Structure 1
Amino acid sequence: MIPAWTVNAWPSALWQPGRDAPLHFVHLGTHVSTRLNKDWPSMGQTVWGGRAGDSAAGISWDWIEVSEGIIAIADPMMMITNLRLLGREGEVLTAHEVAPHLNGLVHRLPWQAEVSRALEQTQHTLPRPAVPFAGITSKSLSAGAGGWLT
């Protein structure tokens, strides 16, 4: 997967909402962070990309599973993107002016389904924790240890 934080290092892509063609993004990857404690929520990052005119454009953000099956943007003000949005007069918009546009873009993406799919795949591929002495029985001990239990 493309690391989420690298999207900011891509060459800038200019986009003027309402004037330029609408942006269409596709899922590039989702990372599920390792849970250090089973009581902590699942979390990670997701990356989406598309075109803004002739330039590659990307957006990524952190997500968190706030309850089983309920996935939310961890911080709607902390989207990582190489997009530079322009206002009506061609001026570069501030972070506060850009936030509603980026959140609207993300709202239209099927990102929660992609995160759910990544969570499901992660849960199916995690190794089962080893259970100490799970395969040991009194029969195997008596047979393999020179009969010390008998």
Structure 2
Amino acid sequence: MSITAWQLCSWPTCPWKIPDDCAQWPAFVHVQSSVNPHAPAGREALRHGDTVWVGQMGGTIVGVGWEWIELRRGVFMLKDPNYVATNLQFLDHALAPLNDLDAIVSANRVAHALPWQATLTQVLAATRTAEAAPAPPAPTPRTRPAAPPPLPARAGTFQRPPGAGWPSAAAA
């Protein structure tokens, strides 16, 4: 099953007053990181894609996801920090929905707390290894092998004297 970051917005909304201590947050697990198939290929090419993380709060599945870009090889950043897709509705201390700016800050706190960059490093290392593998050699035209040299006579084997032929069928 494939989930893209933007699909999280269609999930049922879950209100959440984000605790200051991230140890009290739901345990988010990595579900998917994808590499844009239209990204340039090759060992030195920089990539971009999206990543999705999912957790559970009460009986509700919650998710956060965002697009990422490789700034330079092995260094990843949010492509647009102002857009972290989620079905979470962030609440303030009075349990009222946060304004847009504060909600963006809260969503970025969640993204920053997750080990997504290390996960992307592993995903991209696997894709780069597959691309960097040498291509199999081109098939060569088949040629008939040369006839092997005649075997030397072995001791104890019958050798026909020179000039002696097989008896003809008429003589028999």
Q: TM (normalized to structure 2)?
A: 0.69
Could you say what the CA RMSD is over the residues aligned between the two structures, in angstroms?
2.8
Question: Is the CA contact 2:40–2:46 (under 8 Å) kept in the aligned structure 1?
Answer: no
Q: TM (normalized to structure 1)?
A: 0.78
Deviations 1:54-86, CA, capped at 9 Å, x for gaps = 311100001111101111111111100000011
Q: Unaligned 5+ residue runs, structure 2?
A: 145-172
Q: Distance in 2 between matches of 1:51 and 1:69?
A: 30
Displacement of 1:8 in angstroms is: 0.8
Q: Distance in 2 between matches of 1:120 and 1:71?
A: 13
Partner of 2:19: 18
Q: Unaligned 5+ residue runs, structure 1?
A: 145-150
SS in 2 for 1:50: strand
Q: Does 1:33 align with 2:36?
A: yes
Q: Distance in 1 between matches of 2:128 and 2:20?
A: 43
| Equivalent residue for 1:119, pick from 116, 119, 124 | 124
Partner of 1:80: 85
Q: Distance in 2 between matches of 1:128 and 1:73?
A: 29
Displacement of 1:130 in angstroms is: 6.8
Q: Which has the larger radius of gyration?
A: 2
Partner of 2:161: none
Q: Distance in 1 between matches of 2:41 and 2:130?
A: 18
Deviations 1:33-72, CA, capped at 9 Å, x for gaps = 1224657520110000112333111000011111011111
| Equivalent residue for 1:71, pick from 58, 73, 76 | 76
For 1:88, give the aligned amino acid. Answer: H
Q: Which moved more, 1:120-129 or 1:40-49?
A: 120-129
Q: Distance in 1 between matches of 2:20 and 2:125?
A: 39
**1:1-150 matched pairs, under 5 angstroms:** 1-18=2-19, 21-34=24-37, 35-36=39-40, 41-126=46-131, 135=138, 140=141, 143=143
Displacement of 1:105 in angstroms is: 1.4
SS in 2 for 1:77: coil
Partner of 1:148: none
Identity of aligned residues (%): 30
